[in-house]
Amino acid sequence: VWPYRIIYQYSENDKTIFINIIQYRQSAYK
């Protein structure tokens, strides 16, 4: 879960990564 938090903060500057992380997080949660 820590990797998501690091990318989450990084996404603040990169909206593209943010969208990728959101989709990845949903997949991981499911």
Sequence-ordered list of residues with C-beta below 8 angstroms from that of 24, at least 6 positions apart, any chain = 4
Task: Give the model's pLDDT for residue 23.
Answer: 75
Would you state the pLDDT for residue 20? 72
- Is residue 7 within 8 A of residue 17, CB to CB? The reply is yes
Q: What is the pLDDT of residues 1-30, one digit of tens each?
A: 556 665 556 555 566 666 677 777 666 655
Report the pLDDT value the prediction gives residue 2, as an integer from 0 to 100: 56
pLDDT of residue 21: 72
Which 3-state string (H, E, C) describes the chain? CHHHHHHHHHHCCCHHHHHHHHHHHHHHHC
Task: Return phi, psi of residue 16, to 5°.
Answer: -65, -45
Give residue 29's pLDDT.
Answer: 56
Instruction: Report d(CA 14, CA 11) in Å as an integer.
Output: 4
How is the chain split into domains, by residue range? Answer: 1-25
Q: Is the pTM of this model over 0.75?
A: no
